[in-house]
Structure 1
Amino acid sequence: MNTPKTSHRIPSRIAAPLLPLALAGLPLSAFAQGLPTMEDPSRGQGSGILQTLQNYGYDIVLLIALLVVASDVRRCLLSRLHPLLGDPHRPRHLGPAA
């Protein structure tokens, strides 16, 4: 007589829908342990929520401008170094000298 093996593990088709419910029962502080707190924007907290959001927007615009400038500097450096590093007929010792 062949009897199927019984397993005491919960099948994944039952456990998967229950996982969000189990996570929802945890306090929010359990998720945020060890994470840094959000700092005020560089222009200050502001007198209201709208002014605070404008100050955060100013910081975001400055960060994007910094990234654009950094990518342009990288592009310029690579275009200057490409003739030295890309030519296989040139000696390799000229690459670090540039």
Structure 2
Amino acid sequence: MGNFLSFDKMITPTIIKIIFWIGVAMSVLSGIGMMMTGVSSYYGGGLSVIMGLLTIVIGPLMVRVYCELLIIFFKMDESLKKIEKQLSNNQTSQQ
């Protein structure tokens, strides 16, 4: 609990994983919606069907890339904390 209150443990990476799954669901649902609109269209619905398929395939990939970019910042924070700890241990052992 102390790590949580002092912001030593980050909860945002867990939230980012939840955001990823929400983004994937939204991409798939919007793609299906676009395809249904294209199929029920009286004229020229083929483009909507193709765009729906592209949204289903490319949407989750884009959400994944975005979430990975966010997680990189937290990985850098963890690495910097490890480096800082090692440097402080080396300084105390040299004294």
Q: Give the TM-score band, short-chain normalised.
A: 0.3 to 0.5
| TM-score for the superposition, normalised by structure 2 | 0.42
Higher relative contact order (Cα pairs below 8 Å, separated by 6+ residues): 2
TM-score in terms of structure 1 length: 0.41
Rg larger in 1 or in 2?
1
